[in-house]
Amino acid sequence: MASKPSEARLSLEQADGFGHELLLVGGSFSPTNPLSLSITGAGGIRVTICHRVHDAVDEAIRVCPTVILLDMRDVGVDGIEVLGSFKRSPEVGAVPIIMLTSSLTESIRDASFAQGVADFVVHPVSTTELIARIRTHSTGYLGLLRRNRFATAYESLQSELRSANRALEESRRILAERDENPVDQQWRMRVSGLMQIGIELNQIHDFHLLMERILSEARHLLHSQAGTIFLREGDALRFAFFQNEPIANRTLTGETPHVSSFRVPITDRSLAGWVCLTGQALHIPDCYRIPVESPYRFDSSFDQLLGYRTQTLIAMPLKNQSGKILGVIELINPMSRDGSLLAGFPEQDIQLLEHFASVATVAIERANLVENTILRMIRMAEIRDPAETRRHIECVAAYSSVIFEEWARRRGLEGSAFERQRDRLRTAAKLHDVGKIGISETLLNKPGRLDPAEFEEVKRHTRIGGEYFSHDPSDFDEAAREVALLHHEKWDGSGYPGVLEDGVLRGRRGEEIPLFARIVGLADVFDALSTHRCYKPAWSEEQVLQLIQSESGRHFDPELVEIFFMKLDSIRRFRDANPQLD
């Protein structure tokens, strides 16, 4: 699907005033580089330099360039892969890319044009020529943005006119009867916001991130202090997701502490069980004053454990179109705008939550399909290698997410672009070792050290995994391909599977390794060393941390090691909440 210009993130000054924003990609560029200086000095061109080639797409999403100059002298043939990553990005895929090369071969030219490159410049090049090309492509892109903006504005105007004509007589009737009710206006705004939330929820692939987002959005819609999601598993409900703002504010991290999952039977004795059993919503003004004749009861032990009081509660079934109940969402203690507790949820809020639950259920079913596909693939790998358990997969995904969040925070990557990238990473991390389905289980389960030939065979799992996602890849497949193929590459170039260069196989090094693969490689090593495997006992935490620190700049990206230790408490919390089973 063709990408559209990232118009929403481009300033009006750029689009209407022809402000040129150039992103220089490649390690050869620096603020003191003569070429960089000459471009920066040219009036009207703002320049951002990205040294980390495989992080360039994220940087482009952040700065919103109007043209990109990709230095092929620095990245070599792999620049074609980087170019492809740009063109597959919905946010920046339409930005024109100029490739700077030391020589232009027919194969590079054909491959680059096939991927959608806009222009070539052969080094050395005069500053005047280069700036002219930059301005030409940037101006064309800005013109496209302006045309798109005009078309969008025109369509919007036409739509508004049609709507106005249709509503004219109705509006007269309403105005004749009474003034417009501000409550009605507020309701329409909230429903409109709900529709946008539904669109965003259906773009999230990772099940864990989706459920957390559903709970956050539901709490925001109904101004609730806390919330819980129970997921149906057979004849029981699993306490799966929990958020509580007052409790989170007491912690050093500002996050709700992790609470161990538990299961409750689906009976009419518990609140969530009754909702699941009957398919009806519950609204309880005071959970500690439920009438004795009611079949359900409120279990206050959770409040006592956390030092919190659940007063008002609304529980809504998550029901699909065929009537199947997937779970129950509970929202607790509604707040007024001044921060005081309300005596109950307004009737309008209950109706809004019912609409929201329908929207959320659609997203849950879609994410369930993705998650079940991933789990089937993981189980196939687990048959070959028992170390590849669901626990290991979830831990690697969680650790990777924690590391990426801090990496993104340092670069100002936030909002929908950040959430999309984190979603891609978590999904890819779960599939990092899926290539083991093609390796003999005898080798994977060998208790002793592998001989060189055996090790070479096991190393093939990276290429098998990469190949699995290489055919007509989607945006998410591309992330999974990079991680499966490259998570055993090392910062100093001593990893595998490597890349052919002048007929010689060498390991990728430094930022030649994509960010996601570098992150997952670190998370994988931490969890693998911390747990028992058939060929080794679990290492102590001290041993693992010493090794990771000593391998900074050799096996691992030094910045990611720094982030790992900075976020170690968060990583430990998830690890301790998901212990390895004997």
Express each pLDDT in 333-361 by its tens digit: 999 888 889 888 988 888 889 888 988 89
Least confident of 31-45, 325-339, 454-468, 548-562: 31-45
Residue 325: predicted pLDDT:
94
Question: Phi-psi bin for 52: left (phi > 0), alpha (psi -120 to 50), beta?
Answer: beta
Q: Tell me: the pLDDT tens digits for 51-66? A: 777 778 888 887 788 8
Query: Helix, strand or coil for residue 262?
Result: coil
Residue 201: predicted pLDDT:
81
Residue 156: predicted pLDDT:
44
Domain ranges of the chain: 7-146, 200-368, 385-577
* pLDDT for residue 107 is more than 70: yes
Residue 364: which pLDDT band, with cuts at 50, 70 and 90?
Answer: confident
* pLDDT for residue 555 is more than 70: yes
Residue 120: predicted pLDDT:
85
* pLDDT for residue 391 is more than 50: yes
Residue 7: predicted pLDDT:
38
Buried b (16+ CB within 10 A) or exposed e, 142-152: bebbeeebeee
Residue of 446, 447, 553 lying closest to 491 (CA atoms):
553
Could you tell me whether strands 224-233 and 236-244 are parallel, antiparallel, or unpaired per DSSP bridges? antiparallel
Residue 44: predicted pLDDT:
66
* Dist. CA 257–CA 331, nearest whole Å: 18
Q: Which CATH number fits domain 385-577: 1.10.3210.10, 3.40.50.1000, 1.10.10.10, 1.10.1510.10?
A: 1.10.3210.10
Arithmetic mean of pLDDT over the chain: 81
User: pLDDT > 70: what percent of the chain?
Assistant: 80
Fold of 200-368: Beta-Lactamase (3.30.450)
Residue of 69, 98, 91, 67 lying closest to 5 (CA atoms):
91
Residue with tokens 């206050």: 300
Do 7-146 and 385-577 have matching folds? no
Q: Tell me: the pLDDT tens digits for 274-305? A: 999 999 999 999 999 999 999 999 999 989 98
Cα–Cα distances (Å) from 141 to 6, 18, 65, 233, 512, in that order, read: 11, 10, 10, 51, 29
Residue 41: which pLDDT band, with cuts at 50, 70 and 90?
Answer: low
User: Structure pTM?
Assistant: 0.62
How long a stretch of residues is the chain?
A: 582
Structure tokens at 529: 């060393």
- Assign domain 7-146 to its CATH architecture: 3-Layer(aba) Sandwich (3.40)
Average pLDDT, stretch 547-562? Answer: 97
Q: Tell me: the pLDDT tens digits for 480-523? A: 899 999 999 999 999 999 988 888 889 999 999 999 999 999 99
* pLDDT for residue 33 is more than 50: yes
* pLDDT for residue 441 is more than 80: no
Q: Which residue has the higher pLDDT, 203 or 381?
A: 203
Least confident of 84-88, 97-101, 403-407: 84-88
* pLDDT for residue 455 is more than 80: yes
Residue 546: predicted pLDDT:
97
* Dist. CA 561–CA 229, nearest whole Å: 34
